[in-house]
Structure 1
Amino acid sequence: MQKTLRIVLIIYIFFSQEGFCQNLILNVNGQSEDETVIISNLQYQKTHKDFESIRLEVDSIQNQLFKIGYIENRASKITRINDSTFVTKINLKNRYDTIHIYYNNVQIDQVTLKALSKEVNEDYFVLSFNEVAKALRFINSEISKKGLPFSKVSLSSITAKNATTLKANLFIDVSNNKRTINNIVIRGYDKFPKSYIKHFLKIKPKQVFDLKAIKTKSEQLNNLNFANEVRPPEVLFSKDSTTLYMYLEKSKSNNFDGFLGFGTNEDTNQLEFDGYLNLILTNNLNFGESFRLLYKSDENDQKTFETNATLPYLFNTPIGIDLQLRIFKKDSSFTTVNQALRLHYQINSKHKILSGIVSTESNNLLNDNSSFAISDYKTQHYTIAYQFLKRQSSILLFPVKESLYIEVGIGERKTTTTKENQSQYSLDALKIFDLNKTNSIFIRANGSHLNSKSYFENELLRFGGINSIRGFEENSLFANLFGVLNTEYRYTLSNSLYIHSIIDAGYFENEVLKTKEKLFGYGFGFGILTKAGLLKFNYANGKNENTRFKLSNSKIHISLTANF
């Protein structure tokens, strides 16, 4: 009998949840039906595991009522009416809708208060009661921006002004001394160029301390390709100084980019190859500098050699310099040499303005002078440009989210017998529109216009290929005016693989040949992140407006971008 009793007891203990885990029910009523409805609309938790949970829930309900203006609400004793049900009654009393807050105009100005209230008087301002907590946080934040991180803001002497309005005094404790940044310490990347702290992030010693602003500025390091922020900045306060610690790491910023293209020649029906090498070295001297070397050879017997150097923040000033040398050779027809010098000013982490001079010299290599469209000339253009760049360094497949480059140049062209005024306008813009985590649309627009009374073939703009309108040979198109729109629908299969469509459109005018044409490119491609770098494959077919689609005109472009 005792054995049977023990078994029954064990079964009851382990399987009877109701006996030991009974849910308790809380009902909260008001003094009237209307008050009960107001309390019910708070959607409080009715089911609880023990009495302590019920008591905390009643406190929470009273706090919610306080925030919406029932600051005088009172709760009666919690009463148990049966084994599982508890009830309490809350008297809401009067509801206050607004509050008049009296302030000291020496401690806070009306400009700050007008950002919070539409009614600001000389000695008080008016707020809705439910905006008080948010307003106090805002005021405290504004005071902290003035170098007072330990300030305290609160309301005192809260009393009723009438049945719906309260009045109170704004108390601001700013007894601590005003803080400025005395020292900036870089941890993790000790050789990080200090000029970027001063001019790129706009953080300087003796600057008024504002931690929120500093954290916002430090996030702009994500727009650099040679350094990353490891963790948010930290501050060490001592009696007489404020030290800011920034935690950075050096990232791989050197870039090797190349591609191989091949297609069938329309005249010979033979397979032809073209390609290029693009090497970018960044911050190898820990100065933030960059150097670019480009060599391109394409199937039209055209060769391009180009070097660029950028030196930012010369002599610890916000001014930098850009240098460029470009040599272009068209078979045995002509050579063109471009030299450019630009000064740039980095407005902030994303915006930059540039101004400089671009000189060009071209020589006719045809001894018989059979082509009157090719001529020796020299040009000199004064340029001004604007650049916007927004990176997303955490997404390796698409490191650039948005970019915009606009340049205007005005100058003149000289030959042995003539002198002519010219102007040139260039635009290059791209943006990625994220539809969701896996689907996005890429759009890029670029174009240029050389404005002149007359034109030589060897000064025309050249475009076409993987970095322009796809489905055409590299630099096979030349014009005095062109515009290209590239679009891709991208589907990301993983963090290292995506596929995309290709729909390109273009328009160009060639005053030398007296032609105006519309161009179209269609195809598909994919990108895959390998150990060697980002490998891109594009298959595209290009056609003119008045030509038929031919599969034999298709081009395959393969490029590899490696960071090291």
Structure 2
Amino acid sequence: MGQNLYLRIQSNDEKETKLLDSIYFTKTHKDYYTLEQELNTLKAKLNRLGYIDAEWNVLKKLNDSVFESNVTLKKPYKYIHIYYNVSQLPTSTIRQLRKDKSKAFFIVNFQQIEKTLQFINQQISEKGFPFNKAKLENIQKKEGSTLKANLVISEQNHKRYIDKILVKGYEKFPKSYLKQYLKLKNGAPINLAKVKQQTNLLQELPFANQIKEPEILFSRESTILYVYIEKTKSNSFDGFLGFGTDEATSKLALTGYLNLELTNNLNYGETLSIAYRSDESEQKSFAANLKLPYLFSTPIGAEFELSIFKKDSSFTTAQQSARINYLLNSKNQFSIGLKSTKSNNLLSNDNLNPFIRDYTTTFYNARYLYTHHLKNRPLFKRNAQVRLETGFGNRATKEERQRQLHFELDAFKIFNLNLKNNVYLKASSYGLFSNTYLENELSRFGGINSIRGFEENSLNASFYALLASEYRYSLSPNLYVHSIIDVAYFENKIINQKTKLYSFGFGFGLNTKAGLLRFNYANGKSEERIFKFSNSKIHISLTAAF
């Protein structure tokens, strides 16, 4: 085995010795080359701290294993005045660096010189000059602990723009998403840092992933941007079975729900959703929704929806809506739209229920949607969402015409405490404001997607507010268990009902090859109802991607 060599740094000044002791450097080395490199590294560290006038003695060999260098650090420089040419720096950069507008220089802390030059290079690159570099020349001493220098920008080549964008891997990736979602377009000044930031948004798309970071090919005549994308499974099938006890017959009752979502099958970024539900109380519903984003490569999109609801032999309600969406960015969306509703009374005698009548409504709506996704998460990819909608319109029956207002709020947020623990909170609310109310226009809630432990859509309300919560613990990246604590308050103006609801339970989620399997066991009660285990509900759902 070879003998280790030791590096010793000495100073005749006590304060300088303490400073040298506070700066970490490797003292033990296997050979002379690494020892000499470490000494040069230490000199560079001291230079960055302002000790550029330090005087170093020749490295001496004291014996076979110890080498020593003596240094006199002298006083450090604390500031440098950097003089610049206004025509070579972006105006925004000058504003950020210069504190005194009357001076043709900006003052930089000596230890921040390297970071300042990096910042200037980044700003120049963002303006379309990726090959230009900033450096300091003619460095001179000023007064006291201050230096002055001239900022020199290397010879400016012609400004670079994106001439062409090539997608590799998923060549049919929607061009409208390149332009509007990723904000990449031909003719834009080249800025690789910004391009990388924008392409990272691909990880938030349900139908595409980024394979590797983008690359830029520079030639004398053109600048080509290469983006590497792969298409992912984005269609989903969601369904569940619910088991409970029919309060009237005390027999086992089954509920069912199927939801099919087809995304980007035409390579346009479109989404078609179809949902069918059969509830415990002979309620059936069908809904279809079509979203067309970035029409004609603009930030404008369109959305169309059709829903049909039938309650046993009492009534049917059909709704049609159309919206124009403005997609501000990957997270925020604003919409305006029109919703038309037609409801028919199926009862043979109106006196059987005077609050069920034929009616039509027309509402003018405005909506705001916020969505935040997390990258590279097998579970809980959507970290937060807020959907707020409000509208006004008229309800028309044979007898009267009624002015109405309504609002809807759906929001949730996942608070990640650490890698294994998180808290899920969901808030929902609905309100219909009118002088009179009909039973077949009230909102229906309850079940796995609202307050658990109650029958699906078994609660009718002119107003409700709901808070659902889960404490989740991840046993593995694909398995978690959770608690269920839900509370709600609702009003039914027809029967002057005001009720508080509570639900408690537990569940788990398992991400399998077939999809996400969820199991919920919850027991719901109201203020008037006594707690009974027989009122518990079990919900099982499976969301599969294909």
TM-score category, normalised to shorter length: over 0.9
CA distances 1:476-528 after superposition (whole Å, capped 9, x unpaired): 11101111111111111112211111111111111111111111111111111
What is aligned with 2:154?
173
Q: Which moved more, 1:119-128 or 1:183-192?
A: 119-128
CA distance in 1, matches of 2:155, 2:500: 68
Q: How many residues align?
A: 545
What is aligned with 1:450?
432
Residue of structure 2 aligned with 1:354, choices 335, 344, 348: 335
What is aligned with 2:286?
305
CA RMSD in angstroms comes to 1.3
Q: Which moved more, 1:89-98 or 1:180-189?
A: 89-98
Matched, 1:255 2:268: no
> Could you say what secondary structure the match of 2:42 adopts?
helix
CA distances 1:290-315 after superposition (whole Å, capped 9, x unpaired): 11111100001100011111112222
CA distance in 2, matches of 1:323, 1:72: 73
What is aligned with 1:266?
247
Matched, 1:89 2:70: yes
Matched, 1:145 2:126: yes
CA distances 1:80-134 after superposition (whole Å, capped 9, x unpaired): 2233322211121231111100011111255323323544543111111111111
Map 1:18-29; keep pairs closer than 5 Å: 20-29=1-10
The one-letter amino acid paired with 2:393 is: G
Deviation at 1:190, TM superposition (A): 1.0
CA distance in 2, matches of 1:174, 1:287: 44
Map 1:30-109; keep pairs closer than 5 Å: 30-109=11-90
CA distance in 2, matches of 1:261, 1:159: 81
CA distance in 2, matches of 1:316, 1:43: 56
The one-letter amino acid paired with 1:39 is: L
Q: Which moved more, 1:393-402 or 1:368-377?
A: 393-402
CA distance in 1, matches of 2:12, 2:533: 83
CA distance in 2, matches of 1:563, 1:179: 42
Map 1:162-561; keep pairs closer than 5 Å: 162-369=143-350, 370-392=352-374, 394-561=376-543
The one-letter amino acid paired with 2:37 is: L
> Could you say what secondary structure the match of 2:86 adopts?
coil
**Would the alpha carbon gap of residues 208 and 359 (structure 1) be closer, same or farther in structure 2, given more than 3 Å must change?**
same
The one-letter amino acid paired with 2:152 is: F
Matched, 1:130 2:111: yes
The normalised TM-score by structure 1 is: 0.94
The one-letter amino acid paired with 1:280 is: E
Q: Which moved more, 1:116-125 or 1:307-316?
A: 116-125
> Does the 8 A contact of 2:289 with 2:305 survive in 1?
yes
CA distance in 2, matches of 1:416, 1:388: 40
Residue of structure 2 aligned with 1:113, choices 53, 78, 94: 94
**Would the alpha carbon gap of residues 461 and 541 (structure 1) be closer, same or farther in structure 2, given more than 3 Å must change?**
same
Unmatched runs of 5 consecutive residues or more in structure 1: 1-19
> Does the 8 A contact of 2:420 with 2:474 survive in 1?
yes
> Does the 8 A contact of 1:27 with 1:87 survive in 2?
yes
CA distance in 2, matches of 1:236, 1:398: 37
> Does the 8 A contact of 1:119 with 1:126 survive in 2?
no
Deviation at 1:49, TM superposition (A): 2.0
> Does the 8 A contact of 2:98 with 2:105 survive in 1?
no
The one-letter amino acid paired with 1:377 is: Y
> Does the 8 A contact of 2:199 with 2:210 survive in 1?
yes
The one-letter amino acid paired with 1:259 is: F
> Does the 8 A contact of 2:97 with 2:106 survive in 1?
no
> Could you say what secondary structure the match of 1:106 adopts?
helix
Deviation at 1:345, TM superposition (A): 1.4
CA distance in 1, matches of 2:113, 2:120: 11
CA distance in 2, matches of 1:131, 1:429: 44
Q: Which moved more, 1:172-181 or 1:147-156?
A: 172-181
> Does the 8 A contact of 2:211 with 2:228 survive in 1?
yes
The one-letter amino acid paired with 2:124 is: I
The one-letter amino acid paired with 1:524 is: F
The normalised TM-score by structure 2 is: 0.97
CA distance in 2, matches of 1:318, 1:449: 31
The one-letter amino acid paired with 2:197 is: T
Q: Which moved more, 1:266-275 or 1:535-544?
A: 266-275
